Amino acid sequence: MNEENNSYISADSQSSLESIRVGIIGGAGYTGGEMIRLLINHPTVSVSFIHSTSHAGNPVSKIHADLLGETGLVFTDRLQIDIDVLFLCVGHGDAIKFLSANKIPDTIKVIDLSQDFRLTANSRIDNRVFVYGLPELNKEAIKTAQNIANPGCFATAIQLGLLPLAKAGVLGDVYTTGITGSTGAGQGLGATSHFSWRANNIQAYKSLQHQHINEIQQSLTQLQGNDGMCVNFVPWRGDFTRGIYISSIIDCGLPLAEIKQLYKTYYSEQPFTLVSDSMIDLKQVVNTNKCLLFIEKQGNKIVVHSAIDNLLKGACGQAVQNMNLIFGFDEKSGLKLKANFF
């Protein structure tokens, strides 16, 4: 990015007074494409530019073919500073590099989808301080934030299954398994991402050492305090494109009815996190910003199942939800999406 430090131009101001102007860095990948799809259909957003060094000059629809006829936007390798909010749809480690190399005015809000600023110890760069952007945990802080560290996909699904127990102070050690679609690994080709390996196959990876464990522990400690609880997480690669399904096992002596009420009370004012009275499945959430939860109990153990779309509630949808909160829009604006149920 260093060669672009001085490549700033003024945005072509086409937005109405009611709209905010947004820019996207890293528009060619899976999260970039999903962000574009959401924002061009958002009622109070005007997309000023979509940045990509590798595709500069190409129509967005050439890379994201499903947007043919939906937008005439063209990728650019130049930055515009006449915007209200900047989305960083870049890889882990690249957000901090970008902000270090490109001095973005403090008046521009930044929503970062990488993991660079999620932990409190790493939440500052220069004058920017990032708030952890899980609305079900930090909604009031998000409303007044200048910068958002968007949570990880696995972290979102796991935390939403555990936060009510942590709030009640009854969360002990957690044993979690979760399976994710191939888009969670990004667009780059790898030994475990090409079709002939992924099709009709699953595999565990990063057992007990996934990078999202730290942010999960941070959030649970925020609610319950540091009492030695531990999240033991084994993730799985699935042979489907998108979605995350989590099952977490916890010792809990409370009656099931009381546990369910804890969850329904905690999420009563959260429009996207819903407690189901029957078993959930992945198709219910794919292509939506929802997280669905189902709780069951055998003996002294409960199992909390949670499901999200990794590209929406696990990434871009949650980023737009955070943007809505920051600018005082309806929290659900631009996110009333139908699941791909069939």
Residues constituting the chain: 342
Residue corresponding to tokens 């002939």: 196
Active site residue 153: yes
Q: Are strands 147-149 and 174-180 parallel, antiparallel or unpaired?
A: unpaired
Phi first, then psi: what are they for 168, rounded to 5°? -80, -10
Q: Supply 74's token pair.
A: 């063209």
Distance CA 112, CA 93 (A): 11
Pick the catalytic residue from 153, 252, 291, 316.
Answer: 153
In three state form, how does the secondary structure of 220-237 look? Answer: HHHHHCCCCCCEEEEEEE
Around Cβ 257, how many Cβ atoms within 10 Å?
A: 9
Distance CA 263, CA 328 (A): 26
Q: What is the DSSP letter of 333?
A: T
With CA atoms as reference, report the closest residue to 262 among 121, 126, 124, 168.
Answer: 168
Distance CA 319, CA 130 (A): 13
Distance CA 10, CA 92 (A): 28
Around Cβ 226, how many Cβ atoms within 10 Å?
A: 9
Helices marked H in 206-282: 213-224, 256-266
Residue corresponding to tokens 């189902």: 294
Write out the catalytic residue numbers: 153
